Structure 1
Amino acid sequence: MTTTNTKGQRLGYIRVSTGKQDERLQHDALDKVGVLKRNRYTDHGVSGAKTSRPQLDAMLDDAEPGDIITVYKLDRLGRSTAHVAQLIEELATRGIHIHSVGDGLDSTTNTGKAMLQMLAIFAELERSFIRERTTAGLAAAKAQGRTGGRPKVLDTKRAAQAQSLRDAGHPVPDIAKALGVSIATVYRITKARVA
């Protein structure tokens, strides 16, 4: 197994979704491969579904070409295959390697690179399936006379009422409270009065 020469440092990323989860297993895995405690970034109580996470973002900002980002498993980086593959691809273009201890993936090796390329292929396949399902679902809904998208929060009459209240100079928070909708909804469905 051929290994790529790396001159950087090992950075570790740990994520637990809830406060009840124990991160010890992840720390143990990073200990075994020599990730120093000062080089670890930990997100507590943050879902993997979120693409932006404070400590993940900080680590990605700090990472430099030649560094190896180490995780216990790839699912710590994100929930969807597509998001993880996209992140790995971005790291690769920056010259940053990825090592997933539990999955046995290490992009500093030729085998690891090949496995990560396969992951990218499966992620693209997953994206194409999602696009196909979305297109088919929209076509089926249209055939049944339904349109896609979120249902309107306010009917036309109540939207006009919101606009007239705003035109009369009532504060947006008061309008939202009176109509039982969010402030954002009032801003979205009304226009500011031109002076």
Structure 2
Amino acid sequence: MIYGYQRPLFNDKDMHIQTAILMDCDQVFTENHGRAKKRIALEELLMTIEKGDTIRVHRFFSIADSTRHLEELLKICKRDQVTLHFMEENITSTQLLEKSLEQVLQFFLIFQSDIVKQSTTLGMAEAKAKGKSIGRPKKSDDNVKKAIDMYQSEKFTLLDIKNETGISKSTLYRYLETIE
């Protein structure tokens, strides 16, 4: 049997890309969240596979959340004599790699980058849901007004303004653009 596995990712929340890639699988296991913990569909898939089966995923990060997790999944597949096929990288767990070290490192750099992007996206969504503001806090209006007044008086240097108000040159210019 050919199984597919997908989950919501930072760049494919609705799983349209993954669904299109996994269309020709006999059965697709779909996770309802993109977090690392409580991956029920993945556990169900791992309990279902049998010797000679293939698991297809869009890319490394579609199934694994860390290098260690990827290694564990590869060991399980090897033990159970199941092939894990990473479609985007065009690599299977059973083939001898005919890739250069540079290509392999590039795959892992992308994988690590995906891990960071996914956790950042999930963290920001959770913070927004809790009502927390995202990004750098805004400067107080009084401080901004004071910096603009100092700048427009032409009596102070940019360094004086920064030391007095804590507002950098680029931030000051950004505020000045909004009032012009």
What TM-score, normalized to structure 2?
Answer: 0.50
Distance 1:94 1:24 in 2: 30
Paired residue for 2:49? Answer: 63
- Cα deviation 1:119-152 (Å, max 9, x = unaligned): 9xx8xxxxxxxxxxxxxxxxxxxxxxxxxxxxxx
Q: Which consecutive unaligned segments of at least 5 residues does structure 2 have?
A: 109-180
Paired residue for 1:78? Answer: 64
- Give how far 1:109 is off: 2.9
- Cα deviation 1:40-64 (Å, max 9, x = unaligned): 00001231x22x4111111110000
- Cα deviation 1:56-77 (Å, max 9, x = unaligned): 1111100001000100011111
- Secondary structure of the residue that 1:99 maps to in structure 2? strand
- Secondary structure of the residue that 1:41 maps to in structure 2? strand
Q: Which consecutive unaligned segments of at least 5 residues does structure 1 have?
A: 1-8, 123-195
**What's the C-alpha RMSD, in Å, of the aligned pairs?**
3.0
Paired residue for 2:18? Answer: 26
Paired residue for 1:152? Answer: none
Distance 1:62 1:15 in 2: 18
Contact map agreement 1:72 1:101 (CA 8 A) in 2: yes
Contact map agreement 1:17 1:44 (CA 8 A) in 2: no
1:42 aligns with 2:23: no
Fraction of identical pairs, as percent: 26
Kindly provide the amino acid, as one letter, of the partner of residue 21 in structure 1: K
Distance 2:70 2:95 in 1: 19
Distance 1:107 1:79 in 2: 17
- Give how far 1:17 is off: 4.7
Distance 2:28 2:71 in 1: 21
Distance 1:83 1:108 in 2: 18
Contact map agreement 1:13 1:56 (CA 8 A) in 2: yes
Kindly provide the amino acid, as one letter, of the partner of residue 75 in structure 2: E
Paired residue for 2:91? Answer: 105
**How many residues matched?**
104
Alignment of 1:104-183 (within 5 A): 104-111=90-97
Moved over 6 A (4+): none
